[in-house]
Amino acid sequence: MSEKPRRIRLHVENLRSQPPVFHITPARFDDACRRHPDLAARLDTTTCWDNETFERDMRTAEVMIGWRFPRDRFAERAPDLRWIQMTGAGIEHVMPLDWLPPEATLTNNAGVHAFKAGEFIAMAILSLNTRLPFFATNKEERRWEKFFATAVPGKTLVAIGVGHMGSAGAERAKGLGMRVIGVRASGQPSPHVDEMVTPDRLHEVLPRADILLVSVPLTPETRGLIGRPELDLLKPEAGLINVARAGVVDYAALARKLHAGELGGAILDVFDPEPLPADSFLWDTPNLILTPHVSSDDAERYIPLTLDFFFENLGRYFAGRPLRNAVDRARWY
């Protein structure tokens, strides 16, 4: 007589403070279970909001899906936990992982953002190339001033960070006829990247950028990576896109460059803190478009894609295979 398949207890943690795009509602979870019936049949699932039943549910949970949750005394609160699936890609808010028991693995959902991020980056490239931030500033000042741009093909995108989002941006840039230079720690080649360099050569490639795309994770190594010296290496007409984290770019230095007319424009999607305070200097910075951290989160597909990724990893978990997107404790991603 064959053994019954092993079951596990899953806990899903939601936050009411997050926009609904990030909520794992019963309907979304049930839909995912219907897409993965064999794996879903082996789950005993609890769900809570804002940690209301966290203490109780985590006593027996082996796997958890969540974003923000209590991390003090974590091993004591969750003695059976072996895997946490995060519902986002940039997980610096839970780093370092000194709270995570050594036998547990934490995975992020990097990759589910790629298609939507690629669309945003393509939009941002075209907007910066046509100087849309310049025209937006002129509208506020009721100033009629023409600027005639040159078409995008043949121009150069420098992509700092060539993970899922950076790769999606590189693919869109190639589709627009651009040359793409990538900057990544490993230096490994990537599709749609014409030339790959390591971060120690960053200063060599920045002067070649018509558009600078920042999509690198925030780590101790990347914090402040783009400061005044790096911005000074850019062409005066260059544009900057940041879809990574605010801490990677010195926004005060960027604002000074934009006020001085020493950069063509910038589009920023990430800030610290968020929401951006009403008294932030960024609101009054010319030639700058601000979007409130919406570049890569698909309103309809974000959670379905995240849950599909989770179930794919769940199959690997049951099979004893390494989990995809396991976060390296030393590298922070």
Task: Please list the active-site residues.
Answer: 245, 274, 293
Beta strands per DSSP E along 95-155: 105-107
d(CA 306, CA 109): 6
Which candidate, 258, 263, 218, places its Cα nearest to that of 239? 263
Contact 269, 213 (CB under 8 A): no
Region of 320 please: left (phi>0), alpha (psi -120 to 50) or beta: left
Adjacency order of strands within the sheet including 43-49: 43-49, 8-14, 63-66, 83-86, 105-107
How far CA 209 is from CA of 156, 159, 234, 241, 318, in Å, comes to 5, 9, 7, 12, 46
d(CA 284, CA 152): 28
261 CB-near residues (< 8 Å, 6+ apart): 236, 287
Contact 189, 212 (CB under 8 A): no
Q: What does residue 145 show for φ and ψ, rounded to 5 degrees? A: -145, 125
